Amino acid sequence: GGSGGSDTAGHGGTGGAGGLLFGAGEDGTTPGGNGGAGGVAGLFGDGGNGGNAGVGTPAGNVGAGGTGGLLLGQDGMTGLT
């Protein structure tokens, strides 16, 4: 899956979804504002990591990690502040 782009508010885009079976979710992007959510993985893939909080005032929120695959995948990590 492709990486998510930033939206007009400067928040990170959501990471793209992985392939149906083995694809891993893309990481969320962080161009400022809120970090994007990690992408959802395929059956065996790991979820993408959430984007980090953007720098600014006020600081953005971190992105949530993507969901791992149903069979063996690990969930993505939450972004950092």
41-76 pLDDT, tens digit per residue, is 888 788 888 778 776 656 677 888 888 888 778 887
Q: Is residue 63 part of a domain?
A: yes
**Does the pLDDT of residue 3 top 60, yes or no?**
no
Kindly state whether residue 80 falls inside one of the protein's structural domains: no
pLDDT at 66: 81
Who has greater pLDDT, 67 or 4?
67
Both structure tokens of 11 = 């928040």
Q: How far apart are CA 60 and CA 41, in angstroms?
A: 25
Instruction: Answer yes or no: are the C-beta atoms of 27 and 51 closer than 8 Å.
Output: yes
Residue 26 counted as domain residue? yes
The answer to whether position 59 is within a domain reads yes
Compute the distance between CA of residue 51 and CA of residue 13 in angstroms, rounded to an integer: 8
Report pLDDT for 49: 82
Domain assignment of residue 28, given as a range: 1-6+15-75
Residue 71 falls inside a structural domain: yes
Domain count, the chain: 1
